[in-house]
Chains A and B, each alone.
Chain A
């Protein structure tokens, strides 16, 4: 068993949706369902800060139901649904709709609200009203708030509601028209690029605005070494900033685009090997607080187009755990590490291996806190696993191997960058509010 309080060997009894007993060699209560976990890690359920569920508006790509099923299969017991739906989550009505859709889902569906109306970057969305519905994270994700004055007002206004603003850092003036990282491969392939500086300039600006306003800022999907360095400096200064990184930015580089395969088109774009190495190191040294999937389903008919026409984004929920364990622990592994093809970053490149507990922290209890879902924040996520705690648990077999078959994923879309790759490490069981929603890697509903 692994949680924020450390590692130990124990049995867990869950009853009535709550953890009833934790300890070695517990007796099996009469009539209980027994889930074997020999050789496995028992962790608080994972929490994804960054999930695109596409509902309302793009139900052909994903729905709350299918996305939550993919999440449960990936070990997640909570996801934060991004607000860039159609219509976007810039009103109570849409937030309530998504929350209602999440009621019967296989994991908790928290909702992030937009910072500005229509995510247009001009007028503030009703943060107070949305916060009263339980929204704790606000972002215009998909685009960054371009106008520094608007962002300043948003940070100031948000202070009164105990909410966090989350920024998609991308300076549109520099990034506009780009389809991949600007550098060696974009130049060779003749594809308009997005320079690393398009991200870094907004990270730097928002750190300055956090300082100016005393606000609280979360940086979404950081992709460059210098972004991580900026965040490290802001933290050293004592500013209230947190940051996340995706599994794919910890493993893949722009060289994946050599064949123009749109499945590797993602925003922010896959960067260079040195960025991958720096982001891994930043996970290890505490600069980065969470790994978030940026699960971004796109229907095959839209994704399978020319590189410039295809929308950015890739699936992540069902592959995040093995990919991240492989990248950061080296204990489990996946196609990302030393597969002989030389296209992927080697495990632990330039950084010491992290413990499994530390990696699970990046995937569970630390993002739970950023999302405002931790127990002492009135939530039910992120552990620790102790009597009286909510029964949100995932059981991970770190040695199990499996192959990613896009057709067999629970998502309605198939745009996984890991198609056909062997993964080491698999979520064996997931308990959500005490219910075994995933047993032996199969969804139970």
Chain B
């Protein structure tokens, strides 16, 4: 995962970047494009590092100098508020310089290509691109074009790896709290046999793809619950235990009920007769929430459509982790950025978590 700083100015390579499973862990990581690259070991490593950053987040000044002098660009070619803010907050708390770049896809189509846009930004000297794009594979393309590290912040229907990581982190944190042990050093044993239902528009969901891969790698038993038109055409190669069309039958037997956002246009008659019908069959209403076993967790990646996939009062239940997911998101993204950019030299160096209480000499104007 370490990338020597000197490489930033090296000649651009046009060869496709081959990323093999496992390569991203233990010091060789350059990009985070897919959860599939991480494996159980890589996921556990990120969760462990996240623990340290959760601790940082609890400080009165939640900022550390780990990425001082590094530049992170958030390149978003799709509407997003929470993911962008989360990444930018993470980068700033690591003392990185953050450039925020919105690509209006229509203007890119009119003129400059995505490649030219990306290479132009890269030429300014950038250490990492955080890429959100409507096209599946766009972060992989950016990784082909530039030398900087690339973090996939959501690409089309493909993946949203940091969302899955923060979800896993949140599950692990809650289960550790319940068992009365610190989550630090807890490993990922809590996922083995954990029964998770992922409910909703799996077909069009990058969150679902990343989460299924992460939970599958960690040994969880994943059940997909969706109407037939919102399941992917093939589940070959998906680490999924079961597919169900009957949410009521599934709910009593799960430890986690993970609700996906239903995009309103899906309910316009093409994939579903109506949003109302979806809600009647697949929404987590109060009645359905009562079917959940004691202690079962309710999760949602946000933004929520209250009254569609989740009832307002269900979102407010104590076992609903929606806001905790958001706050953990910053720490997990700090961990990812730190692991990609922070460990100059040999891998495995501990994060520099010394508090940043005053401007460091290098940041004083005119110094």
Residues of chain A touching chain B, judged by Cβ–Cβ distance below 8 Å, are 182-184, 186-193, 195, 259-261, 301, 304-309
**Is B177's beta carbon under 8 Å from chain A?**
no
- Identify B237's interface contact among A188, A191, A305, CB under 8 A: A188
> Contact: B236 with A183, CB < 8 Å?
yes
Q: How far is the CB of B12 from chain A (nearest CB, A)?
A: 13
Q: How far is the CB of B174 from chain A (nearest CB, A)?
A: 29
Bound complex: CA of A193 vs CA of B156, how far in Å?
Answer: 13
Q: How far is the CB of A312 from chain B (nearest CB, A)?
A: 15
> Contact: A191 with B141, CB < 8 Å?
no
Closest partner residue, chain A, to B17 (CB atom):
A259
Besides A191-B158, A260-B141, 10 new A-B residue pairs in contact (Cβ under 8 A), listed by A number: A182-B233, A182-B234, A186-B234, A187-B235, A190-B159, A190-B206, A259-B18, A260-B136, A307-B141, A309-B114
> Contact: A308 with B156, CB < 8 Å?
yes
- Residues of chain B contacted by A259 (CB below 8 angstroms): 16, 18, 140
- Identify A187's interface contact among B16, B114, B155, B233, CB under 8 A: B233
**Is B92's beta carbon under 8 Å from chain A?**
no
**Is B113's beta carbon under 8 Å from chain A?**
yes
**Is B262's beta carbon under 8 Å from chain A?**
no
> Contact: A260 with B115, CB < 8 Å?
no
- Identify A193's interface contact among B158, B209, B233, CB under 8 A: B233
Q: How far is the CB of B118 from chain A (nearest CB, A)?
A: 11
Bound complex: CA of A27 vs CA of B275, how far in Å?
Answer: 84
**Is B133's beta carbon under 8 Å from chain A?**
yes
> Contact: A190 with B234, CB < 8 Å?
no
- Residues of chain A contacted by B133 (CB below 8 angstroms): 306
For the complex, would chain B's binding face be called helix, strand, loop or mixed by DSSP majority?
loop
Bound complex: CA of A190 vs CA of B137, how far in Å?
Answer: 9
- Residues of chain A contacted by B114 (CB below 8 angstroms): 305-306, 309
Bound complex: CA of A309 vs CA of B232, how far in Å?
Answer: 22
Contact count A vs B, C-beta below 8 Å: 69
Q: How far is the CB of A188 from chain B (nearest CB, A)?
A: 6
- Residues of chain B contacted by A301 (CB below 8 angstroms): 113, 115
B7-31 interface code vs A (CB 8 A; 1 in, 0 out): 0000000001010000000000000
**Is B245's beta carbon under 8 Å from chain A?**
no
**Is B135's beta carbon under 8 Å from chain A?**
yes
Bound complex: CA of A309 vs CA of B106, how far in Å?
Answer: 12
- Identify A191's interface contact among B137, B235, B238, CB under 8 A: B137
Q: How far is the CB of B228 from chain A (nearest CB, A)?
A: 14
**Is B199's beta carbon under 8 Å from chain A?**
no
Q: How far is the CB of A85 from chain B (nearest CB, A)?
A: 23
> Contact: B232 with A187, CB < 8 Å?
yes
**Is B138's beta carbon under 8 Å from chain A?**
yes
Residues of chain B touching chain A, judged by Cβ–Cβ distance below 8 Å, are 16, 18, 113-115, 133, 135-138, 140-141, 155-159, 206, 209, 232-238
Q: How far is the CB of B141 from chain A (nearest CB, A)?
A: 5
> Contact: A189 with B141, CB < 8 Å?
no
Closest partner residue, chain A, to B209 (CB atom):
A190
> Contact: B135 with A309, CB < 8 Å?
yes
- Residues of chain B contacted by A186 (CB below 8 angstroms): 233-234
- Residues of chain A contacted by B138 (CB below 8 angstroms): 306
> Contact: A190 with B113, CB < 8 Å?
no
Q: How far is the CB of A405 from chain B (nearest CB, A)?
A: 14
Q: Name 10 A/B residue pairs within 8 A (Cβ), A-sorted.
A: A182-B233, A183-B236, A186-B234, A190-B155, A195-B233, A301-B115, A306-B137, A307-B135, A307-B137, A308-B156
Closest partner residue, chain A, to B155 (CB atom):
A190
> Contact: B156 with A190, CB < 8 Å?
yes
- Residues of chain B contacted by A188 (CB below 8 angstroms): 209, 237-238
> Contact: A189 with B137, CB < 8 Å?
yes
Known: A190-B136, A261-B16. A306 touches B141 (CB 8 A): yes
- Residues of chain B contacted by A193 (CB below 8 angstroms): 233
- Identify A190's interface contact among B158, B235, B237, B238, CB under 8 A: B158
Q: Taking each of A190, A195, A301, which has the highest tally of chain B beta carbons within 10 Å of its own beta carbon?
A: A190
- Residues of chain A contacted by B141 (CB below 8 angstroms): 260, 305-307
- Residues of chain A contacted by B237 (CB below 8 angstroms): 184, 188
> Contact: B209 with A191, CB < 8 Å?
no
- Residues of chain B contacted by A307 (CB below 8 angstroms): 135-137, 141
- Residues of chain A contacted by B158 (CB below 8 angstroms): 189-191
> Contact: A304 with B115, CB < 8 Å?
yes
- Identify B236's interface contact among A184, A189, A195, CB under 8 A: A184
> Contact: A305 with B137, CB < 8 Å?
no
Closest partner residue, chain B, to A257 (CB atom):
B137
Q: How far is the CB of B299 from chain A (nearest CB, A)?
A: 21
Bound complex: CA of A137 vs CA of B46, how far in Å?
Answer: 60
- Residues of chain A contacted by B159 (CB below 8 angstroms): 190
- Residues of chain A contacted by B238 (CB below 8 angstroms): 187-188
- Identify B115's interface contact among A182, A192, A305, CB under 8 A: A305
> Contact: A191 with B136, CB < 8 Å?
yes
Q: How far is the CB of B187 from chain A (nearest CB, A)?
A: 28
Bound complex: CA of A126 vs CA of B169, how far in Å?
Answer: 67
Bound complex: CA of A259 vs CA of B157, how far in Å?
Answer: 15
